[in-house]
Structure 1
Amino acid sequence: MKVSHIEHLGIAVKSLDTAIPYWEKMLGTKCYNIEEVADQKVKTAFFKVGDTKIELLESTSPEGSIGKFIEKRGEGVHHVAFAVDGIENCLAECEANGIQLIDKAPRGGAEGLSIAFLHPKSTGGVLTELCENKNK
């Protein structure tokens, strides 16, 4: 598997309204996209930092993965996402190498990306997301 760059760092927050002003001041840039991903029960906000993005994640339901994460661990870094080409092949390679997959097949994510998660039990405790921009 070849990773081209860190696509984004996902940060779980209780409120985008509270978090966005902090990150705008911290990064010296404006949030360029806010989007809801209904099937993942999350609202996202993005900031560009070089080739990498910061993705803020606010739960739209306590039953969503971000709501559960915040309830259990509080706000903070949720995942690291890597940009790849051929996400299906990357998942097959990961599985062949004994990495536990959360997603056996890619699904739709924010900003039109194809995404899939690898389980932190087999990635050194780090929830890892693979992302592919099939529209480039």
Structure 2
Amino acid sequence: MQKTFRKRIITQIGILTEDIQTAKTAWEKFLGLPSQQISQSDGYAQTHAVYRGEPLEGRIYQVCFNFENIELELIQPVGDVPSYWKECLEKNGPGIHHISFAVKNMDKCIDDCEELGIPSIQRGDFPGGRYAYLDASDSMNVVLELLEKEQEVLS
């Protein structure tokens, strides 16, 4: 497993919120950053996202704050459609959702994690890459996200 994450680059921390506008305003005030734009994720036709083996129609509102070495992502699930975001928000409430690692060969990384008992729960595509959420909550008290970007593949 050490080879899978040998570069050990954490690229993002994701935080779930019930009200993205309120969370965005609080973070802007704390960080002293100018207003960021809230965006909404695409649907299944664009993302090919799968949640627990089924096509995912769930969407999120999101806004990111970029730092020199890491990105902070605020996430609010949209509507009542099942998704891992909604599941975690209902189970744990607002707070840290995931820690993201930059990887290459995502399928191998997922296989390595699943061998350790860390299952892939949700995965999909985004412009320029793809992601996967792995549920390490039982063993490590966190969700892991693997990010494979077309130009930033690491690991």
TM-score (norm 1): 0.80
2:15 partner SS: strand
More helix by share: 1
Given the alignment of the two structures, is residue 69 of structure 1 paired with residue 69 of structure 2, yes or no?
Answer: no
RMSD (Å), alpha carbons: 2.3
Residue pairs, 1:4-83, within 5 angstroms: 4-30=8-34, 32-37=36-41, 38=43, 39-63=57-81, 64-83=83-102
Flag structure 1 segments of 5+ consecutive residues without an equivalent.
none
1:30 partner SS: coil
Offset of 1:4 from its aligned partner?
A: 4.5
- Which structure has more RCO (C-alpha within 8 Å, separation ≥ 6)? 2
User: Residue type of the partner of 1:10?
Assistant: G
CA distance in 1: counterparts of 2:93 and 2:138, whole angstroms:
22
Counting matched residue pairs gives 133
> In percent, how many aligned pairs have the same letter?
27
User: Residue type of the partner of 1:82?
Assistant: F
Given the alignment, which residue of 86, 111, 114 partners 1:92? 111
Given the alignment of the two structures, is residue 134 of structure 1 paired with residue 122 of structure 2, yes or no?
Answer: no
TM-score (norm 2): 0.72
Q: Is the 8 A contact 2:100 2:144 kept in 1?
A: yes
The aligned residue for residue 108 of structure 1 is 125
CA distance in 2: counterparts of 1:4 and 1:30, whole angstroms:
30
2:86 partner SS: helix
Offset of 1:120 from its aligned partner?
A: 2.2
CA distance in 2: counterparts of 1:6 and 1:97, whole angstroms:
20
CA distance in 2: counterparts of 1:122 and 1:72, whole angstroms:
13
CA distance in 2: counterparts of 1:132 and 1:85, whole angstroms:
6
Offset of 1:31 from its aligned partner?
A: 5.1
Offset of 1:100 from its aligned partner?
A: 2.3
